[in-house]
């Protein structure tokens, strides 16, 4: 399976609390809900199409517990709830022994090893939603095949950033789109080590 990291971020790279002021107030974060004013039909359609590609969800413990609390309670019809609740869930954790959001498989031990074994199985996509720390670890270990970002046109100035700290990773842009409300939808493929070069003037590019 391909491991795909899907994240909502601000222009300054914050991934914490996109959906509500009370979603994640850890470390005194007060700017939650920054994504919501920019949601539109194109965003809903594209993220639904991305979810169509998933054969499973890969989550860190904190995101898993929040999702397990919230998604089963949603009763209003929407494009996501039935699939989110039905998909196999894999939670990387050193503290949980079982999951409450079925079907769940608990992955204990080294996440690079356990996720690597999952990645070797046949299938389409194993999608990471939220779980930024897990995403950073797997990206640095070369286990993330693609990165999908929804970038909101806002700067919040504080909060946990998706790729800070992180390791050097080379990416190639393979898709981009701008929604009517200004969300930037970016899709990258991981291409190994981050390239560097010495600038030798414009003649090298013409």
Q: In this predicted structure, which of 23-27, 120-124, 200-204 has the lowest mean pLDDT?
A: 200-204
Domain 2-194 top-level CATH class? alpha beta
How far, CA to CA in Å, does 69 sit from each of 99, 101, 194?
11, 8, 38
Summary mean pLDDT of the chain = 94
The number of residues in the chain equals 206
Mean pLDDT of 10-28: 93
Positive or negative, the CA dihedral 101, 102, 103, 104 is positive
pLDDT higher than threshold 80 for residue 83: yes
How would you list the strands of the sheet with 2-10, edge to edge?
104-107, 89-92, 54-60, 125-129, 2-10, 146-152, 184-190, 171-178
Q: What does the alpha-carbon distance between residue 181 and residue 151 come to, in Å, rounded to a whole number? A: 11
Decide: 181 and 35 in contact? Cβ < 8 Å. Answer: no
pLDDT higher than threshold 80 for residue 166: no
Mean pLDDT of 128-144: 93
Q: Specify the pLDDT at position 122.
A: 96
């Amino acid at each position: 399976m391909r491991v795909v990291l899907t994240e909502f971020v601000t222009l300054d790279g914050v991934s914490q609390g996109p959906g509500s002021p009370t979603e994640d107030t850890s470390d005194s974060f007060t700017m939650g809900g920054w994504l919501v004013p920019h949601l539109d039909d194109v965003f809903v359609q594209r993220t639904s199409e991305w979810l169509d590609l998933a054969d499973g969800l890969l989550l860190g413990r904190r995101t898993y517990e929040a999702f397990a609390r919230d998604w089963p309670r949603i009763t209003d019809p929407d494009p996501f709830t039935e699939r989110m609740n039905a998909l196999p869930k894999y939670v990387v954790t050193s503290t949980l022994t079982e999951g409450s959001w079925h079907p769940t498989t608990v992955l204990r031990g080294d996440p690079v090893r356990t996720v690597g074994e999952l990645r070797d199985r046949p299938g389409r996509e194993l999608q990471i939603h939220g779980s930024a720390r897990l995403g950073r670890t797997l990206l640095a270990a070369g286990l993330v095949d693609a990165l999908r970002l929804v970038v909101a046109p806002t700067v919040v100035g504080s909060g946990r950033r998706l790729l800070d700290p992180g390791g050097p990773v080379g990416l190639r842009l393979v898709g981009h789109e701008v929604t009517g409300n200004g969300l930037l939808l970016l899709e990258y493929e991981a291409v190994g080590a981050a390239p560097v070069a010495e600038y030798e003037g414009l003649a090298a590019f013409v």
